[in-house]
Amino acid sequence: MTPPDARPPLRLGCIADDFTGATDLANNLVRAGMRVVQTIGVPTGPVDDVDAVVVALKSRTIPAAQAVEQSLQALRWLQAQGCSQVYFKVCSTFDSTPQGNIGPVAEALLDALDAPFCCVTPAFPATGRTVYQGHLFVGEVLLSDSGMRQHPLTPMTDASLVRVLQAQCRRRVGLIGHATVRQGTGAIRDRMAQLQAQGVAFGIVDIVDDADLQVLGRALADAPLVVAGSGVAIGLPQNHGLAPGADAARLPAVQGPAAIVSGSCSVATNDQVQRFVRAGGAALAIDPLRIAAGDDVAAQALAWARARLGAQPVLVYSSASPEAVRGIQQSLGAATAGELVERTLAAVARGLVDLGVGRLIVAGGETSGAAVQALGVAQLRIGPQIDPGVPWCFAHAQACGRPVQLALKSGNFGGPDFFTRAFAVGA
Ligand code: ADP
């Protein structure tokens, strides 16, 4: 019998092949009623008592053997927490090449779990990703007719997920078509058993709307492994008697003023910066050329911020127009410019938390990675959503010895008034 003070086993263990994908999945699980922690890499210490943990790897485009090794390490950690179901989160556009990494990682997970079969679907209808007759659609067009055709690392030139996955693995791939999904949970389970009896290990599942995701979720109640985008997450918490509600998203309160650090030069972030400045917000632009010239730009920014921290958020940004960025890159080289700016903004993020900032937005995927590292954050408890894909998170900033709430926004996410509106969410 379980002693009364023993921690209940983890309900769902997730392995995500990149950081923003991990947040997307965690966000969906929270919205469907699970309490979730996202870890940066495989945890080395204990995590909070939650329903699901999402281990964020950076394994989407590394050599397949390394992706397998890292994923198995994550699996061993999740199994040690007692989780009975594993969710391998892949990109909603199934980003991969004939070498992997979806197929090799999925096969390794099946082997390690001693499982004969799993369902696979990157579908997430709310974001325009649907699967029909095994073909992935991005909005109204086939994956192979979308911008993904020209992706620099993982060009997707075939929309047939059965073919794409089959090229990456030894086991056979089959289809659970929409005619089956439409008949309900029992029909999906029958089809899973039928495919398994035929020696098929992976069933690509057709999904065209959220109702399909709920039906599939119920059919997966006892599945040891699911390979999916973030959409399938909305159908799984119901298997544990959990339903959408505000409780799962409640975060511990933090003290201190609000700040924003922005290193994204995306169209959306540039708009958000402009909107914040026009609304009269206190904002300081960082000049990469001054960093390259040897000025201690981070210290200058922190001195500027220290005098202004208070009731209203302050913004420190390097975000700039495409022409300005091109000019900087021509002077410094793109890689050097990026690295200098990332290092400076990470130091600013850390300095702001040292100055007492309690809630911090970081804009930019790479910028967020650098900031999280500088803050010494190993795990994030996922809280309320600000905008699709961007939740507030609670974390211990070990480098600063303090708790903090973070919103890590990848470049193109968030509405135009994100910087002014975000601090009202979950406050
Ligand atoms: P996004 O999520 O929009 O891609 P990232 O933070 O991932 O944002 O990437 C932006 C990159 O641009 C980072 O490497 C950052 O350091 C760099 N960068 C930011 N501002 C400038 C600038 N003014 N000039 C040149 N590079 C910049």
Residue 263 near ligand 1, beta carbon < 6 Å: yes
Residue 341 near ligand 1, beta carbon < 6 Å: yes
- Nearest 5°: the CA angle 211, 212, 217 is 100
* Rounded-to-integer distance, Cα 37 and Cα 30, Å: 10
Instruction: Please list the alpha-helical segments (H only) found in 167-209.
Output: 178-183, 185-197
Residue nearest to atom 20 of ligand 1 (CA): 318
- Element of type H or E holding 381: strand 379-387
* Nearest atom in ligand 1 to 345's CA: 16
Name every residue whose Cβ is closer than 8 Å to that of residue 76 and which is 6 or more positions away in sequence. none
What separation in Å is there between the alpha carbon of 134 and the centre of ligand 1?
37
Residue 354 near ligand 1, beta carbon < 6 Å: no
pLDDT of residue 154: 86
Residue nearest to atom 10 of ligand 1 (CA): 264
Q: Do 205 and 301 share a domain, yes or no?
A: no
Where residue 414 sits, what CATH number does that domain have?
Answer: 3.40.980.20
Q: Do 225 and 255 share a domain, yes or no?
A: no
For the chain, give the mean pLDDT.
94
Strand segments, DSSP code E, in 181-286 are 200-205, 225-228, 258-262, 282-285
Name 37's bridge partners.
Answer: 53, 381
Mean pLDDT, rounded, for 406-421? 92
What separation in Å is there between the alpha carbon of 335 and the centre of ligand 1?
10
pLDDT tens-digit map of 387-404:
988 999 999 999 999 999
Mean pLDDT, rounded, for 70-98? 95
pLDDT of residue 14: 98
Token pair of 339 as six digits: 């690295």
What is the value of pTM for the model shown?
Answer: 0.91
Residue nearest to atom 22 of ligand 1 (CA): 325
Q: Which of 198, 229, 247 is the last residue of a domain?
A: 247
Structural domain range at position 178: 4-247
Q: Do 223 and 271 share a domain, yes or no?
A: no
Helix count and strand count (H, E) for the chain: 14, 18
Residue 382 near ligand 1, beta carbon < 6 Å: no
Q: Do 256 and 341 share a domain, yes or no?
A: yes
Q: Do 262 and 231 share a domain, yes or no?
A: no
The residue that leads in pLDDT, 120 or 49, is 120
pLDDT tens-digit map of 330-363:
999 999 999 999 999 999 999 999 999 999 999 9
Mean pLDDT, rounded, for 317-321? 96
Residue 203 near ligand 1, beta carbon < 6 Å: no
Mean pLDDT, rounded, for 226-232? 97
Mean pLDDT, rounded, for 37-41? 96
pLDDT tens-digit map of 140-160:
999 999 988 888 888 899 999
| Of residues 13, 75, 36, the one with CA closest to residue 393 | 36
* Rounded-to-integer distance, Cα 260 and Cα 390, Å: 14
Residue 268 near ligand 1, beta carbon < 6 Å: no
Count of CB atoms situated within 10 Å of the CB of 130: 23
pLDDT tens-digit map of 256-269:
999 999 999 998 99
* Rounded-to-integer distance, Cα 249 and Cα 258, Å: 20
Q: Which of 212, 247, 282 is the last residue of a domain?
A: 247
The residue that leads in pLDDT, 275 or 9, is 275
User: Would you say residue 5 has pLDDT above 70?
Assistant: no
Residue 389 near ligand 1, beta carbon < 6 Å: no
pLDDT of residue 153: 84
Token pair of 107 as six digits: 């096969």
